[in-house]
Amino acid sequence: MSQAGQAVSAPRSGDRLTGSVIVVALVSAISGLLYGYDTGIISGALLQIGEDFDIGHVWEQVIAASILVGAVIGALTCSRLAERRGRHGTLLLIGIVFVIGSLAASLSPDPITLSLSRLVLGFAVGGATQTAPVYVAELAPTAYRGRLVLFFQIAIGVGIVIATIVGAAEIIDWRVAIGMAAVPAAIMFALMLRLPESPRWLAREGHLDRAEEALGRVRHRDSDLSAELQGIRENVEAEKQASTRGWSGLKAAWVRPALVVGCGLAVFTQLSGIEMIVYYTPTILTDNGFSDSTALRVSVALGLTYLIAQLIGLAIIDRVGRRRLTLLTLPFAALALIVLGTFFVTGNDGKSMIPWIVATLVAFMAFTAGGIQLMGWLTGSEIYPLATRAAGAAAQSASLWGTNVLITLTLLSTMNAIGTGQTFWMYAVFNIIAFVFLWKKMPELTGRSLEEIEQHLADGKFKPADF
């Protein structure tokens, strides 16, 4: 273990939470809430939009997926902005785009304009998912890093719950529902004005005095910052001497294991079936004979389950461990999808089976939201070396959003082609494959500082058996 790793992981007063760190986590949480709300609101809104614009499933898939295409663009673009201009300035820009995208979507006169507006909104969503967790991870004390980064993930659940409640109310026009997202976006922007730049980014850019000042703003006033600053300096110096920087650095053999785990995990968070449930539950249920009101109430139940499961995961993740929690929950998520698919394939999907179908949907949501869904953004903020962290997180975000686009654009068509139950079975298989992949590739990162994780990569020991 390097001296830097030892210094950073040792207990110190800097591990205490401060008000500034909490505000940092709050900004990240607001960006997560916007992600959950802006993507989740389309679930119920599609029922109104379809009637207003007189469109079918193809246009519904395009409207739902447009925000995801924008997210891929935003993740890739903001990774470069975060490297060149800093995490802080990039998040300020994202706040502005959130406001513009929300208002433009709410005023759209036709499906084309709505899709383009949601593309802009998606830019902010993708940029936030790439930048906010990294920003929090680089400012948070090691002892709290996992929980503070996961505020972003928990806030996604809050956003989804709010979106499903708004949709289920059936009295709020879809334009108002979409436009309301501009309010938290403006609050996010205002809070960012009070926060410092990432001290790790400042140190990497050669601004050591500013890095020390920024770190002092997010640590307790009685903290001795010397050990943490020394660890950051040594890490930055090592990165300067290495040939692994930015996107080209991701090609390095010693970084590749992190990229494989990160992008593989990102892909499987989507192939788990979570977005199928979040975006299209009302559409799937109404297409199979459920009433609109029943379908929307089920969406609320699923949104609440998502949030509760994530809160439980947040409470236990630093004790149970990232790897262990993921591997414990994946088999049960797969089983729930197998049972759900069986209901539809065998014709047991009528009104008498509604309680069983809902219970199975809730069970699936609990196991996937409380397991693999916690890991997608968290790992992207911590497994990559400092010099490639923004690029790695962007690659991971793009993998996640790209998979999401593919699923969203094809899901309803796939169900029409092979059947609803068979589609659930297909996603159950994806969960099983995810279990095998993560069992073999994903090490336990819980309790490790960012510098310790990087040291394991440099030593060629980024394997489950080596942690």
The CATH number assigned to the domain holding 100 equals 1.20.1250.20
pLDDT digits (tens, 9 = 90+) for 7-27: 333 444 446 677 788 888 888
Position 41 pLDDT exceeds 80: yes
Please give the single-letter amino acid code of residue 459.
Answer: D
Q: What is the DSSP string of 10-63?
A: S--GGGS--HHHHHHHHHHHHHHHHHHHHHHHHHHHHHHHHHHHT--HHHHHHH
Q: Which residues contact 255 (CB under 8 A, 6 or more apart)?
A: 244, 249, 384, 385, 388, 392, 457
CA distance 424 to 286: 17
Give me the mean pLDDT over the 35-44 stretch.
Answer: 83
CB atoms within 10 A of CB 120: 20
Q: Of 67-71, 98-102, 302-306, which has the strongest mean pLDDT?
A: 98-102
* Range(s) of the domain holding residue 257: 3-466
Judge whether 227 and 7 are in contact, CB under 8 Å: yes
Supply the pLDDT for residue 123. Answer: 95
Could you give the angle at which helices 111-139 and 57-84 cross, rounded to 10 degrees? 40
CA distance 403 to 307: 23
Tokens at 359, concatenated: 């219970």
Give me the mean pLDDT over the 294-316 stretch.
Answer: 86
Identify which of 124, 139, 235 has the alpha carbon closest to the alpha carbon of residue 184.
124
Supply the pLDDT for residue 244. Answer: 64
pLDDT digits (tens, 9 = 90+) for 339-357: 999 998 998 877 778 789 8
Supply the pLDDT for residue 215. Answer: 87
Between residues 438 and 241, which one has the greater pLDDT?
A: 438
Supply the pLDDT for residue 425. Answer: 96
User: What's the angle, vertex CA 171, arms to CA 168 and CA 110, rounded to 5?
Assistant: 95
Position 311 pLDDT exceeds 80: yes
pTM (two decimals): 0.73
3-state secondary structure 315-352: HHHHHHCHHHHHHHHHHHHHHHHHHHHHHHHCCCCCHH
Position 5 pLDDT exceeds 60: no
Position 6 pLDDT exceeds 90: no
| Residue that the structure tokens 């199979």 belong to | 288
Q: Measuring CA to CA, how many Å separate 404 from each of 25, 141, 143, 278?
A: 26, 32, 32, 12
| Residue that the structure tokens 């949104």 belong to | 303
Q: 114: part of which helix (H) or strand (E)? A: helix 111-139
Supply the pLDDT for residue 28. Answer: 87
CA distance 324 to 210: 39
Q: Of 177-181, 272-276, 279-283, 458-462, which has the strongest mean pLDDT?
A: 177-181
Give me the mean pLDDT over the 46-69 stretch.
Answer: 85
Identify which of 356, 342, 385, 368 has the alpha carbon closest to the alpha carbon of residue 157.
368
Q: Which residues contact 294 (CB under 8 A, 6 or more apart)?
A: 285, 354
Reported as half-sphere exposure (CB side, CA atoms, 13 A), residue 264 has a value of: 18
Give me the mean pLDDT over the 283-300 stretch.
Answer: 77
Domain count, the chain: 1
Give me the mean pLDDT over the 457-466 stretch.
Answer: 83
Supply the pLDDT for residue 242. Answer: 64
pLDDT digits (tens, 9 = 90+) for 157-183: 888 889 888 877 777 898 999 999 999
Instruction: Determine the straight-line distance between the first and last CA of the chain, rounded to whole angstroms.
Output: 12
Supply the pLDDT for residue 280. Answer: 72
CB atoms within 10 A of CB 225: 18
Give me the mean pLDDT over the 119-131 stretch.
Answer: 89
CB atoms within 10 A of CB 424: 27
Reported as half-sphere exposure (CB side, CA atoms, 13 A), residue 233 has a value of: 13
Mean pLDDT of the chain: 85
Position 57 pLDDT exceeds 80: no
pLDDT interval class at 132 (50, 70, 90): confident
21-37 per-residue burial string, b: 16 or more CB within 10 A, e: under 16: beebbbbbbbbbbbbbb
**Of the candidate ranges 234-248, 291-305, 412-426, 435-449, the one whose mean pLDDT is the lowest:** 234-248
Tokens at 340, concatenated: 């759900």
Tokens at 51, concatenated: 């009637």
